Amino acid sequence: MDNNELIKKIETVLNNAKAEFNEKINEKNLDEVYKNYLGKNSFLNNISRSISEYEPEIRKIIGMSVNNAKIKIEEIYKNLKEQIKYENSSNDSYSKIDLSLPGVKITQFHKHPITAVLDETVEFFTSMGFEVVEGPEIETAYYNFDALNIPDNHPARDVWDTFYLKNGLIPRTHTSSVQVRTMETKKPPLRVIAPGRCYRYESVDATHLFMFNQVEGLFVDKNVKLSDLKGILEATVKHLLGAKKTRFRPAFYPFVEPGLDLDIECVFCGGKGCNVCKFTGWIEVIPCGMVHPKVFEYAGINPDIYKGFAFGMGFDRLVMLKYNVNDLRLLYSGNMDVLNQF
Ligand SMILES: [Zn+2]
């Protein structure tokens, strides 16, 4: 075979390889075709091995031609191999989908019990014509104490163990501070509730935290009577807690006169007596009373014309009673095992 014939043969071999690869596209045949053309005893490798037998000038031309053919065959083989691999893998993942299986359940989220009961409370009060108002969580001593008839030297300040900030302001100890702010800016008649966080210097246990939620309520109008307070608060505990029996006891709070505590019959023992109610059969839920004339004076409202009542619900406590939770800390721990039960 002369040199020209040899180069033509190499070209033919390359073309044959291309044709064969295209014909037999599956993994096993692909390897066979590869071996035929680039295996140990293949035509092209035999030429490579005996290249030194050619004249130097011819050697170069033949060498280039052989290498070119080998590179092209190698390339076609690799591409086809990749293509087969890709097709197989996509077939696999497709066959793994079992359309008869039920779908993956999406976790349904819900409101935190405190938020849920708060929303329920707001809805209940707005249905009676109350409006929601808000005030700052960091208060001045004036709004938190003085304007609520608790002057600086009054021993009642000790009842609210307080955090003081370096600048003299106070994380509010109750939402009652919003009462005064509201009366300063709105003219009576007033029906407002003020939900929000409060802070007290408490050691933490099952029923006390240094932070808690309160809903303050204020009703001001001409001719407001104690019976109005009774009617609205009894309806509230019936609606929110399903309370059957209620009672009012006299109590002292500097910003109301007279001051009262609303008790409900213990929801845990039905009034028979248990640990929760300390064997009294009653649980205190809402401190309340008729707005003190001095508080009206601080807010610039004439106490001879207007009367009113106010109440403050320790809100977390209502949630504990409603859902029979015996440790307040559980509501704030963020433990999903607890929260998923609501
Ligand atoms: Zn009880």
Parse the chain into domains and list their residue ranges.
3-96, 113-339
Q: How far apart are CA 216 and CA 234, in angstroms?
A: 16
Residues facing residue 70 across a β-bridge: none
Asked whether residue 257 is marked as a ligand-binding residue, the answer is yes
Can 276 be counted among the known catalytic residues?
Answer: no
Encoded tokens for 71: 């590179």
- Distant-in-sequence, close-in-space partners of 105: CB < 8 Å, separation ≥ 6: none
List the catalytic residue out of 33, 133, 147, 160.
160
Q: What is the pTM of this model?
A: 0.65
Catalytic residue among 224, 310, 319, 325: 310
Pair 24, 30: CB distance under 8 Å:
yes
**From the centroid of its chain, how far is CA 342?**
15
CA of 216 to the centre of ligand 1 (A): 26
Q: Residue 277 C-alpha to ligand 1 middle, in angstroms? A: 4
Give the Å distance between the CA of 118 and the centre of ligand 1. 24
Task: Assess whether 299 carries a catalytic annotation.
Answer: no
CATH code linked to domain 113-339: 3.30.930.10
275 alpha carbon – ligand 1 mean position (Å): 6
Pairwise CA distance, residues 222 & 233, whole Å? 19
Q: Is 310 a catalytic residue?
A: yes
In sequence order, which ranges of the chain are alpha helices (DSSP H)? 3-23, 27-38, 43-49, 56-96, 113-127, 141-144, 177-185, 226-241, 293-299, 315-323, 329-332, 336-339
Catalytic: 256?
yes
Instruction: Encode the chain (342 residues) as per-residue pLDDT tens digits.
Output: 677 888 888 889 888 888 888 887 777 788 888 888 888 888 888 888 888 888 888 888 888 898 999 999 999 889 888 888 887 776 665 566 778 888 888 877 889 999 999 999 999 999 999 999 999 999 998 888 888 888 888 877 776 668 888 998 989 988 888 988 988 898 889 999 999 999 988 888 877 788 889 999 999 999 999 999 999 999 999 999 988 899 999 999 888 999 999 999 988 888 898 887 889 999 899 999 999 999 999 888 999 999 999 999 888 888 988 888 888 888 888 888 888 888
